[in-house]
A and B are shown apart, each in its own frame.
Chain A
Amino acid sequence: MTEADILHWIRDTSLGITVRQSRWMFATGETLHFLGLSLLVGGILIVDLRLLGFLRRISMRAALSFLPFVIIGFVVNLLTGILFFAADPMMYWPSPAFKLKMFLILLAGINALVFTLFMHKGALALGEDDQATTFMKVSAGLSLSFWLLVLLLGRLLPAFEGSTSFL
């Protein structure tokens, strides 16, 4: 199977056909994508800013309790993202903005995995006014940078297609 075969197959799945034929599914997906984005950004800000030392007066455990919002936001955006891609894979796949966005999501995921495996336990032990380690701060800085770039690339995606519409 070539790349084109796979893209054609995705386009012709029942999901792809349904989204293209529906008047409201794509627009509803976009709205949910924005809500998911807000949940992810709100939650990750609390965690990463605490790690970086901005919300020092709270325990790291209290800050990390907002992580489920990040996961919910990510899952909502993954599912709606799959919906967008199935609707028009030939448009997304060749786009450099799309590929870079996916690559940065992968990096953000690896960064989160490294934090979970090697730093999460230590972070939970940080009480009020405790400083995070340098590794934790680097991880938090990378996380904020990756997600900011993902957001910007997502918003720029339509422009890479030469579309000047509001969509």
Chain B
Amino acid sequence: MEFLTWLEQTEFSTWLRESDWGHPIVLCFHAVGMGLVVGISFMYGARVLGYAKSFPLAAFDQLFGLAWFGFAMNAASGIVLLIAEPRRMPATPAFVIKMILIAFAGLSLWALARTLEGKERAPAGSAPTGAKTAAIASIVFWCGAIVAGRLIGYTIGPPPV
């Protein structure tokens, strides 16, 4: 707790809270990263669920590179946003729930990749039921993470005493 209080009082943390532009610019990065990660996950989920069967699953490999780039961008910008409010943020339930939902979304995509192992080189066609379940789970968890993320702004409380 002392560490968090110290962190909150650092020059960087204070600047993030008080400057006109620091916070919005970090949020810009966070929004672009979200578009990349969630957007590509949504398209991949749709493809696994049977949409655009002529689009080979293997073609997503290149897009995953971009999705990881977006994820790294959001991990970095997310840490900066956490540094801005190191005491209030972890005390906000919506923030904790968002982190859990992101972990679940990641696990779903990992499980999805496992179920497709060996099959993903097939040029086109249907994915197994397990893969479809994992695809639906990833879509639901990303939607949940976005809802929780938006709720942080509305429910973040005063700094804990």
A contact set with B: CB distance below 8 Å: 27, 30-31, 34-35, 37-43, 45-46, 49, 54-55, 57-59, 61-63, 65-66, 69, 148, 151-152, 154-156, 158-159, 162, 164-167
Contact code string B138-161 (vs A, CB < 8 Å = 1, else 0): 000011001101111110100000
On whether the beta carbons of B27 and A38 are closer than 8 Å, the reply is: no
Q: How far is the CA of A55 from the CA of B31 in the complex (A)?
A: 24
Interface centre among A30, A42, A154, A162 (most CB of B within 10 A): A42
On whether the beta carbons of B24 and A65 are closer than 8 Å, the reply is: no
Please name all residues of chain B whose beta carbon is closer than 8 Å to the beta carbon of A45 when the two chains form the complex: 36, 39-40, 43, 63, 66
On whether the beta carbons of A59 and B54 are closer than 8 Å, the reply is: yes
B contact set with A: CB distance below 8 Å: 17-18, 20-21, 23-25, 27-28, 30-32, 34-36, 38-43, 46, 51-52, 54-56, 58-59, 62-63, 66, 142-143, 146-147, 149-154, 156
Please name all residues of chain B whose beta carbon is closer than 8 Å to the beta carbon of A158 when the two chains form the complex: 24
On whether the beta carbons of A57 and B56 are closer than 8 Å, the reply is: yes
Q: How far is the CA of A67 from the CA of B154 in the complex (A)?
A: 33
Q: Other CB < 8 Å A-B pairs besides A57-B58, A58-B56, 16 of them? A: A34-B146, A42-B35, A45-B36, A45-B40, A45-B43, A46-B63, A49-B63, A59-B54, A62-B55, A62-B56, A62-B59, A65-B54, A65-B55, A66-B46, A164-B17, A166-B152
A-B contacts, 9 of them at CB < 8 A, read A27-B150, A37-B31, A37-B35, A37-B39, A39-B42, A62-B54, A158-B24, A166-B152, A166-B154
On whether the beta carbons of A156 and B59 are closer than 8 Å, the reply is: no
Q: How far is the CA of A147 from the CA of B15 in the complex (A)?
A: 30
Cβ-Cβ contact count across A and B, 8 Å cutoff: 116
- Per DSSP, chain B at the interface is helix
